[in-house]
Chain A
């Protein structure tokens, strides 16, 4: 495929898809008028960004351009329009996994879906690690799913290089407050021991819990408590009938005051106690979340895990499994877009300045990186 041009007038903005980059940037659905293809465009107001954010954005673009892999979000082009930098990436029709959970799978994605996604993510990670980088921000909101059901890693701005001579990394990622729940104990520990690429594997484990449970472990926990629990070796797990018990012995528990998990609703309890994840799923998560780094496998080892056997005998496609979530593609975008044009009579490109981000269109399945 030929690289896309960087002429602002060739990109027609259709609608806002969501926020990204810790809410510093908005993602727009847009159409490249020359090739008639749909794309995602991230818009950054450079004037309003701090030096640190700019550095981080620059780092992200450099990383995206360096790492070409089907399971890593690719960089297509970028252009300036006044003080706004627009970064063009392919449209990921299903949005992020976090969006899928928020919109349609509040109590978690089905195991088979996670299996497919995890396989893609591990392939992406294997590539990143092979190039001498640690991702450091693997989480559901950084996993985007394309129309064809391919999962891609994004959020590359947190990546850091590590030396191939097996020396450990000691750098603590900056502006990482949003990712703390996913980070490995050895990274958070910040001692002379340091961490390596297996820190990402721990994040994969946490992400598995997030995808399966619908909420990230330690979600309601103060950061400092999360820290001491992780360092003490507390390991989160998948919630199903084998791991989640309803405390019926105590009367007081029913008020929800005494119960530690009071934020879990009755409906959720029902879902949790009636489902069962496979043993291999439980075991792969446990492996990923080993407190002892030497017991934690590398991405390449994990790909050999028995958990992935189920993908081979599966005939349904990921997009079918994700129903009722709808993929944003040519067919439904045209519709929406026509309506949009009728309503606002817009036919503008970047060179004109009509703001379309005030429309109240909601694309449930497509918010990139909501927090």
Chain B
């Protein structure tokens, strides 16, 4: 809800007939530019339990970025929340690889109790892409391309002694040029450099992707092979649209994984090499499970499947298929100031209807609340709102100082 003061001033009054400020309950969508350091904030890209992910624009290089915003209060409510974030930052700062999400900057705002991780910009994740298709799977050649990149990233991670522990389509993001980025190091573990084995003791990853040794609750687990297993489940999912193990409850699921009775879907029988690869990655016994080096040599990995189908595209965000920058309206507001025609250019039909509906509700509410006869709110949308005309920019040379956050 917008502040009352906001609605009083500005030309909004002339658009929405005559409605007293205290009766207006809709948000008038005041667009205001927000800066974190040199980064301009854009719209929401996604939301997790820890906080939000928003788009950003580096105002110096004009490079698109994303920001992961952590709220201290929210983190404290999640088990291991703060520890996980600290670890994620520490690991990401160490890592530099084409297929690992890059951490660009970190800001802390003590006053707001928020932390901002500026990351490389990604257009979407494999999970979103899967969800956007009816069969929830990729053409083999497309899955193959992602799998090779996953192997590259994983090889690098393991070479740095890091176990990701939460490999799944949802944590594999894509940049604009289709480069796969392994992301979310919240539950990853870094092995001690002088540790003789890759033994890990805990795992907090997503249940469906957990290896049998974790499902069975073994006290000591081989770390690298855990990532191989979850990569196997991921590949299984990308190519079939199914999960190798399912269960109505986590308990049931873990029982199925623990017993490891792998039933391959019939559709996989026509691809014997893929079938063999998945069996090798989803082997119950650690010593039978393929290593990264063995994976590299595998038939299915070496041979590129023919490009016989159209690729699954990255699904549109807010019906924008091209995933255009979302910071533009904020920048326009900042540089040109508030303007009706400018404003309306960014209000969609849906938003318009929403406004209208809210407006009517506002009227009804008012009538219920007070016995007086209130001025009837406008039922018809204002004409100006329909015209999405672009205001011809005039050269404006004034430079305002951006308010900014303190870098950590």
A: residues with CB less than 8 A from B are: 169-172, 175-177, 180, 188-194, 220-225, 227-229, 231-232, 234, 260-263
Residues of B contacting A260 with CB < 8 Å? 394-397
> What is the chain A residue whose CB lies nearest that of B33?
A224
Question: Do B176 and A188 touch (CB < 8 A)?
Answer: no
A220–B324 contact, CB under 8 A?
A: no
* A170 CB contact (under 8 Å) in B59, B175, B332, B393: B175
Complex: how many Å from CA A169 to CA B179?
12
Is there an interface contact between A223 and B176, defined as CB atoms closer than 8 Å?
Answer: no
User: Looking at the complex, which one of B61, B175, B314, B331 makes contact with A225 (CB distance below 8 Å)?
Assistant: B331
User: Given contacts A191-B323, A228-B328, are A223 and B62 in contact (CB under 8 A)?
Assistant: yes
Find the A residue at minimum CB distance from B335: A225
Do B57 and A228 have beta carbons less than 8 Å apart?
no
B177 interfacial contact with A, CB 8 Å: yes
Q: Can you list 10 A-B contacts (CB < 8 A)?
A: A170-B177, A171-B177, A172-B64, A177-B61, A191-B176, A223-B59, A223-B60, A224-B59, A225-B331, A228-B335
- Given contacts A177-B60, A177-B61, A232-B393, 5 further A-B pairs with CB under 8 A are A191-B323, A191-B324, A222-B399, A225-B331, A231-B328
Taking CB as reference atom, which chain B residue is nearest A231? B328
A190 contacts B64, C-beta separation under 8 Å? yes
User: Do the beta carbons of A190 and B176 come within 8 Å of each other?
Assistant: yes
Query: Interface readout for B32-76 with A: 1 if CB under 8 Å, 0 if not?
Result: 000000001000000000000000010111111000000000000
Contact of A192 among B63, B123, B393, B395 (CB under 8 A): B123
Q: Report whether A234 and B393 are in contact in the complex, using a CB–CB cutoff of 8 Å.
A: yes
Give chain B's interface secondary structure class. loop
Count CB-based A-B contacts (< 8 Å): 75
Counting from the closest, the 6 A-B pairs by CB-CB distance are A170-B177, A170-B176, A191-B322, A225-B335, A260-B395, A191-B324
A-side interface mostly: loop
Interface contact B123-A228, CB-CB below 8 Å: no
Given known A-B contacts A192-B123, A260-B395, A228 and B332 have beta carbons under 8 A apart: yes
Taking CB atoms, residues of chain A closer than 8 Å to B332 are 228
Q: In the bound complex, do residue A261 and residue B177 qualify as a contact, i.e. CB atoms below 8 Å apart?
A: no
User: By the criterion CB–CB under 8 Å, are A221 and B314 in contact?
Assistant: no
Q: Is the CB of A224 within 8 A of B331?
A: yes
Shortest B221–chain A CB gap in Å is: 35
Q: A189 and B324: CB pair below 8 A?
A: yes
Encode B324-340 as 1/0 by CB contact (under 8 A) with A: 11001001101100000
B111: CB under 8 A from chain A? no
A224 and B396 contacting across the interface, CB-CB below 8 Å? no
Hey, which chain A residues are within 8 Å of B178, CB to CB?
170
What's the Cα separation between A229 and B334 when bound, in Å? 13
Query: Is there contact, CB below 8 Å, between A180 and B177?
Result: no
B336-357 residues at the A interface, CB under 8 angstroms: none
Query: A223 to chain B: closest CB distance in Å?
Result: 6
Contact status B390-A232, CB under 8 Å: yes
What is the 8 Å Cβ interface bit string for chain B, positions 174-189, against chain A (1 contact, 0 not)? 0111100000000000
**Complexed CA–CA distance, A16 and B18 (Å):** 71
B residues in contact with A188, CB < 8 Å? 62
Q: Are B397 and A192 in contact (CB under 8 A)?
A: no
Q: State whether B393 touches A180 (Cβ < 8 A).
A: no
Distance in Å: Cβ of B45 to nearest Cβ of chain A: 14
Q: CB distance B331 to A227 under 8 Å? A: yes
Contact of B323 among A169, A192, A220, A221 (CB under 8 A): A192
Given the interface pairs A191-B322, A192-B322, the reply to whether A228 lies near B394 with Cβ below 8 Å is no
Q: How far is the CA of A262 from the CA of B398 in the complex (A)?
A: 12
Q: Which of A176, A220, A223 has the most CB of B within 10 A?
A: A223
- The interface residues of chain A lying within 8 Å CB-to-CB of B57 are 224
Q: How far is the CB of B394 from chain A (nearest CB, A)?
A: 7
B9 within 8 A of A: no
Q: How distant is A190 from chain B, measured CB to nearest CB, in Å?
A: 5
Indicate if the CB atoms of B314 and A229 lie closer than 8 Å.
no
Chain B residues with CB under 8 A of A232: 390, 393
Q: Is B321's beta carbon under 8 Å from chain A?
A: yes
Q: From B393, which residue of chain A is reached at the shortest CB distance? A: A229
Neighbouring B residues of A169 by C-beta, 8 Å: 177
Instruction: Report yes or no: B62 in contact with A227, Cβ–Cβ below 8 A.
Output: yes
A222–B324 CB distance below 8 A: no
Q: A177-B61, A225-B331, A225-B335 are in contact. Are A189 and B399 (CB under 8 A)?
A: no
Which B residues from 159 to 211 make CB contacts under 8 A with A?
A: 175-178
From B40, B177, B393, give the contact of A224 (CB < 8 A): B40
